[in-house]
Amino acid sequence: MKITVIGTGYVGLVVGAGLAHSGNDVICADIDSDKIRRLNEGEIPIHEPGLEPLVADNLASGRLRFTTDVPQAVRESDIIFIAVGTPPDEDGSADLAHVLAVAEQIGRHMTGERIVVTKSTVPVGTARRVREAVEAHAKHPVHVCSNPEFLKEGAAVDDFMKPDRVVLGADDPEAAAVLTELFQPFVRTGNEILVMDVPSAEITKYAANAMLATRISFMNHMAGLCEATGADVDSVRRGLGSDPRIGSSFLFPGVGYGGSCFPKDVKALIRTSRELGIEPHILEGVEAVNEAQKRTLLERVVRRFGTDLSGHVFALWGLSFKPNTDDMREAPALVTIEGLLERGGQVVAHDPVALDEARRILGNRIEYRGTNYDALAGASALLIHTEWHPYRRPDFQRMKSELAQPVIFDGRNLYSPQRMAELGFEYSCIGRPRAR
């Protein structure tokens, strides 16, 4: 099939490369000429395991092309995916300006009947607005469908190539049949292609992310209850997860969720609910718990060292919001860093892949180190924000010798409290009793 993906961000790049890999002729179009130049040279602008060789293989085969000529890409393709950004407005609603601008371009330049698919995360009703924007300029029929993405950063290539389900929102049976054929190669093991009406598909994406965010905030609330009562959140988590009605996924407490999806999508769903006259009490609670949880390590540092942190250096392991990505959008580490700096503290940070992104965001306000151990030298405490694999089994004796004080604030519960006590560390974690 001849396909265009408009937008070469995180979603568009994975989708374009993945569809090309299954034998389709794919054009990825973007107005960012520098990004397109780099992509044509094989340079991937994001850190995503497996994406670089996938792009390189399909570029070499000729199945994948990158261009800034959006009108020509529209003219050449039968199916057009819209995968541009939908950043949150100040009121929390999704900004659809880019999506609708692309829709207008499609309408102006399509030379025959087209299937247009919204891949960007968009609120319910967006497909209707996209259809109106296309039809305002088009001379040919258009079928606007929804195909929400369920890609986890750090595992996006696997998620696309081996999806646990594909959701298709389509109001036209013929368009639904074409898209079902397009995605059939990815579900050969028997996972479902779920065809539904367009509004249901649009809501499904938000509902899925909001549910996962709810589980995270719920466990963080339970972690606070455990700390207040002396219970162990790990035991509570295992007890919950063993219930088949609940399951074990997304029940790990920590310093809160971040990234490009959960915070934005929860806010957008709150906004949509209010616009429809539905009070989003649960979602507001989810967001409030998460915002408070992002401050938990900072608050523990202040309780331990006081409100004036002048003269203290704090080592920070992990800057990205999760492992296997350099994405720092809404990262809890940023909340901690800002709080430490405001109180006069110094920060020395390490992250396996996000140092360049941190420099872009924070500049020289903090210091950066090439190894996690180098960040410890002379620090008053270590703060752990991201559960990168190299942090899980470190050399504790080396850590103890490097730190000025053997104090660790662990926002990801990587270590055993009992063992840390035996090693002589002052160890603060989330929802677990302290061992002494």
Per-residue pLDDT, averaged over 169-189, amounts to: 95
Annotated catalytic residue, options 28, 226, 261, 429:
261
Give the three-state DSSP class for 365: helix
333-367 confidence digits (pLDDT tens): 999 999 999 999 999 999 999 999 999 999 999 99
18 CB-near residues (< 8 Å, 6+ apart)? 54, 157, 160, 161, 186
CATH superfamily placement of domain 206-292: N-(1-d-carboxylethyl)-l-norvaline Dehydrogenase; domain 2 (1.10.1040.10)
**Coil, helix or strand for 421?**
helix
CB atoms within 10 A of CB 76: 18
Q: CA 28, 103, 116 angle in degrees (round to 5)?
A: 65
Between CA 264 and CA 57 the distance in angstroms is 33
Backbone angles phi, psi at 4, to 5 degrees: -120, 135
Q: What are phi and psi of 181, to 5 degrees?
A: -65, -40
- Give the model confidence (pLDDT) of 193-251 as tens digits: 999 999 999 999 999 999 999 999 999 999 999 999 999 999 999 999 999 999 999 99
Q: What is the pLDDT of residues 425-435, one digit of tens each?
A: 999 999 998 87
The fold for domain 2-196 equals Rossmann fold (3.40.50)
Q: What per-residue confidence (pLDDT) applies to 123?
A: 85
Q: To the nearest 10°, report the CA torsion of 178, 182, 187, 190.
A: 20
Q: Does this model's pTM top 0.75?
A: yes
Cβ pair 115, 175 in contact under 8 A: yes
Mean pLDDT over residues 373-379, rounded? 97
Contact by Cβ (8 Å): 182, 79? yes
| Active site (annotated) includes residue 28 | no
So where are the chain's domains?
Answer: 2-196, 206-292, 294-428
Q: Which CATH class is domain 294-428?
A: alpha beta
- Does residue 380 surpass a pLDDT of 80? yes
Q: What is the model's pLDDT at position 22?
A: 95
* Predicted pLDDT at 436: 65
Residue type, 50: G
Looking at the chain, the whole-number percentage of residues with pLDDT higher than 70 is 99
**Mean pLDDT score of the chain:** 95
Render pLDDT for 84-99 as a digit per residue (tens, 0 to 9): 988 777 677 778 899 9
**Fold match, 206-292 / 294-428:** no
